[in-house]
Amino acid sequence: MTVKKAAIKSSESQGASIKESGVYVGKLDMVTLETYESGSQAVRFEFKTPDERKAFFNVFVTDKSGNETFGAGMVQSLAHLFGLKEFDYVKKMVDVYDYTSKLNIVKELNVFDCFLNKMVGIIVQKELSIYKGELKDKLNLLGFYDASTMLTANEMIQGKVEPKTVKQKIAWLEQNPVKDKRGATPAPPAPPAPPAARGASQQAYQADDLDDDIPF
């Protein structure tokens, strides 16, 4: 399936995972702030399309020293798309699946309720790598966009009416449907970080319009 078809066609199967590069529209079932032993933080997104296809993304927002990373701007762009000038998480007990015990358990999580169950578009690229001799694949989240207008947060901030960024990214993904790291030396993990200062006003970020590998 080409990127363009993946972007336009929903899915052939119910309850499957999103596997290919492209743009997709759906809702965020769960958004949580995860803190790692190193002290770095990431926002975990659980995304689901109307036909029940799912994808999971960890976007690092601070490094171990507490400095904001590239991902913080991406989270702030999502807040702008939803019309949120401020956002924060709440601690709550959530029924989650535990992969160790293979059972559902109740666990306290830091949940961004303000992001849940709203329609949003995502732009993703498939990545291939080798880990311990085994082929691994995952989807990298490149950005969010408004589900109805296809405008990114930066375009909305600039008062644009034509969604050029998403169209450019679709065209770029047509030429670069896979990020192949199978022959590359593994890079050190990117430092994580929490979304903009909790409760702080959001500023105009361009993170939703750019990606390290996208030359525009």
Reported as a single tens digit per residue, the pLDDT across 27-56 is 999 999 999 999 999 999 999 999 999 999
Which of 29, 31, 78 has its CA nearest to residue 54?
29
- What is the distance between the alpha carbons of residues 26 and 40, in angstroms, rounded to a whole number? 28
Q: How far apart are CA 12 and CA 10, in angstroms?
A: 7
CA angle (29, 70, 115) in 5-degree steps: 20
Chain mean pLDDT for the chain: 82
pLDDT tens digit sequence for 165-198: 999 999 999 999 999 998 755 455 555 444 443 4
Yes or no: say if 30 and 110 are a contact pair by the CB < 8 Å rule.
no
Q: How far apart are CA 26 and CA 118, in angstroms?
A: 8
Query: Sorting pLDDT into bands at 50, 70 and 90, what band is 88?
Result: very high
pTM for the structure as a whole = 0.76
List the beta bridge partners of residue 62. Answer: 41, 68
What confidence score (pLDDT) does residue 132 get? 86
